[in-house]
């Protein structure tokens, strides 16, 4: 499968490495033409304001929005989750507005409040998975069509709506490929 990774900034290489390890082809996505033959896309962690600005100045935002709306399987990790949200707490600016969630940026605190835990997510693996949080957001509101996959401290940190999955944590920074594998198997789309 050809899996795109939005490649402006942030944890791009880590996702590309995991895609390769699972036997798929990773494609760097920076411009509209790069969307042509991908079958899924990952929006990595990083800084949502920077990635969002680059989405807008390059003009990629509109064709990407269309692709996601038409069913392209999409996974946003951390900053990627913020980019996909319909609403962001205390912030007017929005980006892809693709998912019925409201998010709180840096909801778990600053860089020094970054942390790791192990937790079971039944949809993803029958073993506990390692969850790495780095200046992570969380979801403060969801519409009823959003499926909640994981909560930590009563905060929603992973969710799914149709072809879109979001995680506040970073599976690509661990050795565990189960989340990527779950994403590629479970999102209905054009594939």
Instruction: Extract the annotated binding site for L-glutamine.
Output: 46-48, 105, 134-135
* Of 14, 19, 35, 46, the one binding ligand GLN by CB under 6 A: 46
Inter-CA distances, 136 with 66, 78, 156, 157, 184, Å:
27, 6, 11, 9, 23
24 belongs to the catalytic site? no
28/32 with CB nearer ligand GLN: 28
- Is there binding between residue 139 and ligand GLN (CB under 6 A)? no
- Is there binding between residue 7 and ligand GLN (CB under 6 A)? no
Cβ atoms of 169 and 77 closer than 8 Å:
yes
Half-sphere exposure (CA, 13 Å, Cβ side) for 168? 31
130 belongs to the catalytic site? no
* Of 28, 32, 39, 47, the one binding ligand GLN by CB under 6 A: 47
What is the rounded CA–CA span in Å between residue 72 and residue 40? 6
Smallest gap from residue 23 Cβ to ligand GLN (A): 26
Q: Is 96 exposed, middle or buried (0-12, 13-18, 19+ CB in 10 A)?
A: buried
Inter-CA distances, 108 with 78, 133, 187, Å:
12, 8, 27
Return the range that interacts with ligand GLN (CB under 6 A); candidates 39-47, 66-74, 143-151, 179-187: 39-47
* Of 15, 18, 135, 162, the one binding ligand GLN by CB under 6 A: 135
18 belongs to the catalytic site? no
* Of 45, 73, 76, 171, the one binding ligand GLN by CB under 6 A: 45
Longest dimension (CA), the chain: 42
7/48 with CB nearer ligand GLN: 48
What is the rounded CA–CA span in Å between residue 5 and residue 38? 9
Active centre residues (catalytic): 78, 170, 172
């Amino acid at each position: 499968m050809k899996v795109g990774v939005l490649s402006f900034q942030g944890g791009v290489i880590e996702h590309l490495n995991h895609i390769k390890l699972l036997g798929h082809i990773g494609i760097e996505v920076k411009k509209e033409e790069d969307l042509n033959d991908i079958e899924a896309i990952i929006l990595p962690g990083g800084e949502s304001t920077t990635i969002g600005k680059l989405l807008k100045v390059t003009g990629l935002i509109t064709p990407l929005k269309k692709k996601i709306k038409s069913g392209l399987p999409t996974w946003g990790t951390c900053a990627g989750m913020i980019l996909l949200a319909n609403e962001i707490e205390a912030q007017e600016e929005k980006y892809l507005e693709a998912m019925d969630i409201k998010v709180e940026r840096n909801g778990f605190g600053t860089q020094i409040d970054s942390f790791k835990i192990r937790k079971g997510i039944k949809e993803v693996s029958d073993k506990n998975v390692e969850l790495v949080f780095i200046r992570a957001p969380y979801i403060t509101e969801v519409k009823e069509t959003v499926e909640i996959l994981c909560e930590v401290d009563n905060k929603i940190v992973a969710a799914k709506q149709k072809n879109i999955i979001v995680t506040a944590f970073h599976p690509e920074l661990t050795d565990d490929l189960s989340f990527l594998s779950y994403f590629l198997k479970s999102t209905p789309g054009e594939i």
